[in-house]
Amino acid sequence: MVSTESVPRSKRRATSQKSLGRRSELLAIAAEMFATRGYAQTTVRDIGDAAGILSGSLYHHFDSKEAMLDEILRDFMGSLHSAFAAIAAEEEGPRQVLEGLIRYSIATIHDRPHAVALYQNESSLLAHLPDFSYVAQISADIAKIWLDVLAAGREAGTFRRDLEPGIAYRFIRDSVWGSVRWYSPDGALDHETVAEQYQKMLFGGLLAE
Amino acid sequence: MVSTESVPRSKRRATSQKSLGRRSELLAIAAEMFATRGYAQTTVRDIGDAAGILSGSLYHHFDSKEAMLDEILRDFMGSLHSAFAAIAAEEEGPRQVLEGLIRYSIATIHDRPHAVALYQNESSLLAHLPDFSYVAQISADIAKIWLDVLAAGREAGTFRRDLEPGIAYRFIRDSVWGSVRWYSPDGALDHETVAEQYQKMLFGGLLAE
Amino acid sequence: MVSTESVPRSKRRATSQKSLGRRSELLAIAAEMFATRGYAQTTVRDIGDAAGILSGSLYHHFDSKEAMLDEILRDFMGSLHSAFAAIAAEEEGPRQVLEGLIRYSIATIHDRPHAVALYQNESSLLAHLPDFSYVAQISADIAKIWLDVLAAGREAGTFRRDLEPGIAYRFIRDSVWGSVRWYSPDGALDHETVAEQYQKMLFGGLLAE
Amino acid sequence: MVSTESVPRSKRRATSQKSLGRRSELLAIAAEMFATRGYAQTTVRDIGDAAGILSGSLYHHFDSKEAMLDEILRDFMGSLHSAFAAIAAEEEGPRQVLEGLIRYSIATIHDRPHAVALYQNESSLLAHLPDFSYVAQISADIAKIWLDVLAAGREAGTFRRDLEPGIAYRFIRDSVWGSVRWYSPDGALDHETVAEQYQKMLFGGLLAE
DNA sequence: AATGAATGAGCTTTCATTCAT
DNA sequence: GATGAATGAAAGCTCATTCAT
- Residue A131 shares a structural domain with residue A198: yes
Per-residue HEC secondary structure of B148-171 comes to HHHHHHHHCCCECCCCCHHHHHHH
Report the alpha-carbon distance of residue A5 to residue B194 in Å, rounded. 66
C43 touches chain D (CB under 8 A): no
Looking at residue A16, what is its pLDDT?
41
Residue stretches of chain D with pLDDT short of 50: 1-17
Looking at residue D22, what is its pLDDT?
87
Looking at residue D132, what is its pLDDT?
95
Q: Which of D11, D27, D62 marks a domain boundary?
A: D62
- Residue B50 shares a structural domain with residue B75: no
Number of structural domains (chain C) is 2
Q: Where are the alpha helices (DSSP H) in D40-190?
A: 44-51, 65-89, 94-111, 113-126, 133-155, 165-178
Q: Which residue is nearest to nucleotide E15 (CA to C1')?
A: C43
Contact C200 D163 (CB under 8 A): yes
- Residue C134 shares a structural domain with residue C195: yes
Any bridge partners for residue B159, and if so which?
A207
- Residue C21 shares a structural domain with residue C70: no
Q: Tell me the per-residue pLDDT of B45-60, one tens digit each, with 9 for 90 and over.
A: 999 999 999 999 999 9
Amino acid of residue C54: L
C156 touches chain D (CB under 8 A): no
- The pLDDT mean for chain C works out to 90
> B100 vs chain A: nearest CA distance in angstroms?
15
Cα–Cα distances in Å, from C191 out to B118, C106, D167? 72, 7, 12
Contact B167 A124 (CB under 8 A): no
Q: Among residues C24, C23, C21, C191, which one has the least CA distance to residue C111?
A: C191
Looking at residue B1, what is its pLDDT?
34
DSSP-assigned states of every residue in D172-202 = HHHHHHHGGGT--TTSSS-HHHHHHHHHHHH
For C45 and E15, how far is CA from C1' in angstroms?
9
> A64 vs chain B: nearest CA distance in angstroms?
18
Give chain D positions within 8 Å (CB) of C205. 201-205
Report the alpha-carbon distance of residue D46 to residue D60 in Å, rounded. 16
Give chain D positions within 8 Å (CB) of C171. 175, 179, 197-198, 201
Reported as a pLDDT band with limits 50, 70 and 90, residue C19 is: low
Residue stretches of chain A with pLDDT short of 70: 1-20
- Residue C45 shares a structural domain with residue C75: no
C111 touches chain D (CB under 8 A): no
- Residue A82 shares a structural domain with residue A43: no
Q: Which of C42, C62, C82 marks a domain boundary?
A: C62
Give chain C positions within 8 Å (CB) of D96. none
Contact B124 A181 (CB under 8 A): yes
Q: Among residues A159, A201, A100, A98, which one has the least CA distance to residue B162?
A: A201
Q: Which of C160, C202, C207 sits opposite D158 (nearest CB)?
A: C207
On whether the CB atoms of residues C35 and C27 are closer than 8 A, the answer is no
Is residue A52 left, alpha or beta, with left meaning phi > 0 and alpha meaning psi from -120 to 50? left
Report the alpha-carbon distance of residue C10 to residue B39 in Å, rounded. 71
Give phi and psi for D95, each to the nearest 5: -65, -40
D170 or B91, greater pLDDT: D170
Amino acid of residue D122: E
Q: Tell me the per-residue pLDDT of A2-29, one tens digit each, with 9 for 90 and over.
A: 333 333 333 333 334 456 678 999 999 9
Report the alpha-carbon distance of residue B170 to residue D70 in Å, rounded. 57
Task: Answer whether residue C127 shows pLDDT above 90.
Answer: no
- Residue D183 shares a structural domain with residue D93: yes
Q: Tell me the per-residue pLDDT of B11-57, one tens digit each, with 9 for 90 and over.
A: 333 344 556 688 999 999 999 999 999 999 999 999 999 999 999 99
Interface test with C, best of D106, D171, D196, D199 (most C CBs within 10 A): D171
Q: Chains contacting B with at least 3 CB pairs below 8 Å?
A: A
Task: State the CATH number of the domain containing residue B21.
Answer: 1.10.10.60
Looking at residue D3, what is its pLDDT?
36
Chains B and C in direct contact, meaning 3 or more beta-carbon pairs closer than 8 angstroms: no
Contact A205 B202 (CB under 8 A): yes
Cα–Cα distances in Å, from A106 out to A67, A164, A175, A198? 27, 24, 11, 9
For A31 and E18, how far is CA from C1' in angstroms?
30
Q: Which residue is nearest to nucleotide E3 (CA to C1')?
A: B54
Q: Among residues D169, D65, D70, which one has the least CA distance to residue D123?
A: D70
- Residue C53 shares a structural domain with residue C78: no
Strand E bases with any atom < 7 A from protein Cβ: 1-19
Task: State the CATH number of the domain containing residue A114.
Answer: 1.10.357.10
- Residue B38 shares a structural domain with residue B128: no
* Helix pair B2-37, B44-51: axis angle to 10 deg: 130
For C58 and F1, how far is CA from C1' in angstroms?
10
Q: Which of C124, C175, C204 sits opposite D181 (nearest CB)?
A: C124
Q: Among residues D16, D15, D18, which one has the least CA distance to residue D26?
A: D18
Q: Among residues D98, D107, D58, which one has the least CA distance to residue D79?
A: D107
Chains D and C in direct contact, meaning 3 or more beta-carbon pairs closer than 8 angstroms: yes
Cα–Cα distances in Å, from B69 out to B25, B72, C32, C165, C191? 14, 5, 56, 75, 72
- Residue A77 shares a structural domain with residue A40: no
Q: Which of D36, D62, D88 marks a domain boundary?
A: D62
Q: Tell me the per-residue pLDDT of C58-93, one tens digit each, with 9 for 90 and over.
A: 999 999 999 999 999 999 999 999 999 999 999 889
Helix (H, G, I), strand (E, B) or coil at A6: helix
Looking at residue D16, what is its pLDDT?
41
Task: Answer whether residue B77 shows pLDDT above 90.
Answer: yes
Q: Which DSSP state fits C79?
A: H
Q: Among residues B26, B31, B194, B5, which one has the least CA distance to residue B119?
A: B31
- Residue D103 shares a structural domain with residue D193: yes
Report the alpha-carbon distance of residue B183 to residue B117 in Å, rounded. 11
- Residue B50: give the domain boundaries: 1-62
- Residue D92 shares a structural domain with residue D182: yes
On whether the CB atoms of residues C102 and C195 are closer than 8 A, the answer is yes
pTM above 0.85, yes or no: yes
B95 touches chain A (CB under 8 A): yes
Torsion of CA C61, C66, C71, C74, to 10 degrees: -170
Looking at residue C17, what is its pLDDT?
52
For D52 and E8, how far is CA from C1' in angstroms?
15
On whether the CB atoms of residues B16 and B25 are closer than 8 A, the answer is no
Amino acid of residue D126: L
For A57 and E4, how far is CA from C1' in angstroms?
40
